[in-house]
């Protein structure tokens, strides 16, 4: 009886916090930590130059992956029951890594894999990929064929891990709204323009953490890139949590924060681009548990986390700033991954933060595609329940 009553109270509390998150709107954008370093829209895409090339730059290598913003809108994402394939995996990874060369990227995060074609993995190999990536946090698979497959086949591969997310504001290849594109045309001046106003382009985040069921195992693959620069930087959020003192960790447990997609949507509208789905806000725990490894990870980011529920604004800002600084300063928990032709970087968005690096200004094109299978609604397990 007491359990049923407390469950009812817990459900009511969750509902009222969720409703509060939904009401959240960007009242004052100046207070938001959202930062748009990669603003893209039809207006910033030079279709002629991309298709035909110029004296300085060749045409896009994958023109069927150029971004389009049509006026089709999509309904809210539906809740679904997530399946965690990493739980079924053989932890010695015989189907994934047999015969592969697998150097670590750093002592604390990341691996590189040569000699495996992920699109050809059997079911056991795909399960092992989910667990391997959850453990390593980010893995660069080299010499992959994902970019050369028909787009639908690439999507089918990714959807083994969960239903695809449709991004609210990004461009997509024509006919494939589930593919999120990161694209800067050749001769684009975004970087130059951005640095007129800002001192750095770093935007730590976990992808679309404002969704109720944000992505887990995530794939990003290179189509075209600058000869130097445009790396992606990843941070290990399990180790970022582990670095905190037990007393501080204990204080974070039980706290939940509002994550909002409203600022990103407002930004897209303000630059005349489209919003493909009405933005949402959701409440997630500050410390989330990974369903396959049992590891606990910090789950806040300056792009989308807005406010810790139950704290006053100054208290919430202070605590979030400490956590953002901690995440950004822990260079000893980070790996900067370099792109090469054929590279697919796979990371687990539940236990990492990442940022693009906008550091090349010579007008070279950068073009990548991201596939984002959605995962479970973030949850936490008690402070003293720890399973390695």
Tell me how crowded residue 321 is: count the other CB atoms within 10 A of its CB. 12
> Does residue 129 touch ligand SIN according to CB under 6 A?
no
Q: Does 238 bind ligand SIN (CB under 6 A)?
A: no
Q: How many residues bind to ligand SIN according to rule CB under 6 A? A: 8
Token pair of 41, please?
């829209």
User: Residue 229 or 363: which CB sits closer to ligand SIN?
Assistant: 229
Give whichever of 206 and 282 is closer to ligand SIN, judged by the CB atom: 206
In angstroms, what is the C-alpha Rg of the chain?
20
Q: What is the DSSP string of 191-243?
A: HHHHHHH-S-----B-TTTTSSS-BSEEEEEEEE--SS---EEEEEHHHHHHT
Rounded to an integer, what distance in angstroms lies between the CA atom of residue 262 and that of residue 365? Answer: 29
If the CB atoms of residues 67 and 125 are measured against ligand SIN, the closer one turns out to be 67
Q: Edge-to-edge, what's the strand order for the sheet holding 111-113?
A: 111-113, 138-141, 344-348, 217-224, 366-371, 180-184
Count CA atoms within 13 Å of residue 189 on its CB side.
Answer: 3
* Residue number closest to ligand SIN, CB atom: 356
CB nearer ligand SIN, residue 206 or residue 289: 206
**Calpha distance 185→364 (Å, rounded):** 8
CB of 107 to ligand SIN, least distance (A): 23
191 counts as binding ligand SIN under rule CB under 6 A = no
Helix (H) or strand (E) holding 71: none
139 scored as a contact of ligand SIN (CB under 6 A): no
CB of 218: closest distance to ligand SIN in angstroms?
8
232 in contact with ligand SIN (CB under 6 A): yes
Q: Least distance to ligand SIN from the beta carbon of 138, Å?
A: 11
Tokens of 151: 């787009």
At closest approach, how far in Å is the CB of 37 from ligand SIN?
10
| Smallest distance from ligand SIN to CB 203, Å | 8
Which DSSP state fits 63?
G
Among 131, 181, 220, 238, interactor with ligand SIN by CB under 6 A = 220
Judged by CB under 6 A, does residue 140 bind ligand SIN?
no
Pick the binder of ligand SIN from 129, 182, 237, 252 (CB under 6 A): 182
CA atoms within 13 A on the CB side of 225: 24
Is the Cβ of residue 93 or residue 204 nearer to ligand SIN in the bound state?
A: 204
Of 345-364, binders to ligand SIN (CB under 6 A) are 354, 356
Q: By C-beta, is 256 or 350 nearer to ligand SIN?
A: 350
Of 95 and 303, the one with the shorter C-beta distance to ligand SIN is: 303
Q: How far apart are CA 234 and CA 228, in angstroms?
A: 18
Query: 97 vs 172, which CB is nearer to ligand SIN?
Result: 172
Q: What is the bridge-based pairing of β-strands 352-356 and 217-224? A: unpaired
> Is 370 an interacting residue with respect to ligand SIN (CB under 6 A)?
yes
Query: Between 218 and 260, whose beta carbon lies closer to ligand SIN?
Result: 218
Complex with ligand SIN: residue 296 or 370, whichever CB lies closer: 370
Residue 92 half-sphere exposure, CB side, CA atoms within 13 Å? 3
Task: Name the pairing type of β-strands 138-141 and 111-113.
Answer: parallel
Least separation in angstroms between CB 214 and ligand SIN: 12
Using H for helix, E for strand and C for coil, what is the string for 131-163?
A: HHHHHHCEEEECCCCHHHCCHHHHHHHHHHHCC
What helix, strand, coil percent values describe the chain, rounded to 5? 30, 20, 50
CA angle at 366 for the pair 58 and 259, rounded to the nearest 5°? 160
For ligand SIN, the binding residues (CB under 6 A) are 182, 207, 220, 232, 354, 356, 368, 370
């Amino acid at each position: 009886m007491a359990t049923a009553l407390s469950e009812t109270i817990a459900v009511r509390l969750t509902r009222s916090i969720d409703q509060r998150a939904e009401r959240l709107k960007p009242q004052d954008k100046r207070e938001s930590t959202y930062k748009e370093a990669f603003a893209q829209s039809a207006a910033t895409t030079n279709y002629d130059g991309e298709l035909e090339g110029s004296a300085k730059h060749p045409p896009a290598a994958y023109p069927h992956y150029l971004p389009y913003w049509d006026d089709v809108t999509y309904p809210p994402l539906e809740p679904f029951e997530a399946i965690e394939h990493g739980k079924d995996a053989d932890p010695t990874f015989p189907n994934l890594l047999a015969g592969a060369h697998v150097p670590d990227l750093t002592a604390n995060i990341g691996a590189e894999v040569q000699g495996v074609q992920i699109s050809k993995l059997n079911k056991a190999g795909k399960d092992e990929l989910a667990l391997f990536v959850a453990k390593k946090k980010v893995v660069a698979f080299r010499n992959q064929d994902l970019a050369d497959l028909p787009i639908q086949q690439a999507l089918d591969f990714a959807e083994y891990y969960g239903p695809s997310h449709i991004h609210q504001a990004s461009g997509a290849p024509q006919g494939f709204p589930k593919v999120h594109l990161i694209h800067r045309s050749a001769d684009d001046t975004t970087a130059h323009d951005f640095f007129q106003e800002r001192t750095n382009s770093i935007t730590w985040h976990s992808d679309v953490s404002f969704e109720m069921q944000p992505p887990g195992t995530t794939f990003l693959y290179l189509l075209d890139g600058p000869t130097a620069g445009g790396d992606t930087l990843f941070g290990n959020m399990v180790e970022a949590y582990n670095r905190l003192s037990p007393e501080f960790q204990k204080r974070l447990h039980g706290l939940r924060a509002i994550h909002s997609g409203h600022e990103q949507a407002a930004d897209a509208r303000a630059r005349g681009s489209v919003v493909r789905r009405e933005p949402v806000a959701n409440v997630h725990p500050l410390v989330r548990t990974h369903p396959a490894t049992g590891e606990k990870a910090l789950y806040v980011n300056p792009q989308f986390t807005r406010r810790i529920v139950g704290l006053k604004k100054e208290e919430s800002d202070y605590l979030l700033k400490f956590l953002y600084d901690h995440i950004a300063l822990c260079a000893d928990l980070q790996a900067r991954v370099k792109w090469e032709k054929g590279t697919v970087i796979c990371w687990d968005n539940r236990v990492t933060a990442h940022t693009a690096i906008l550091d090349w200004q010579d007008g070279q094109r950068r073009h990548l595609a991201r596939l984002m299978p959605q995962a479970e609604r973030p949850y936490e397990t008690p402070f003293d329940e720890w399973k390695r």
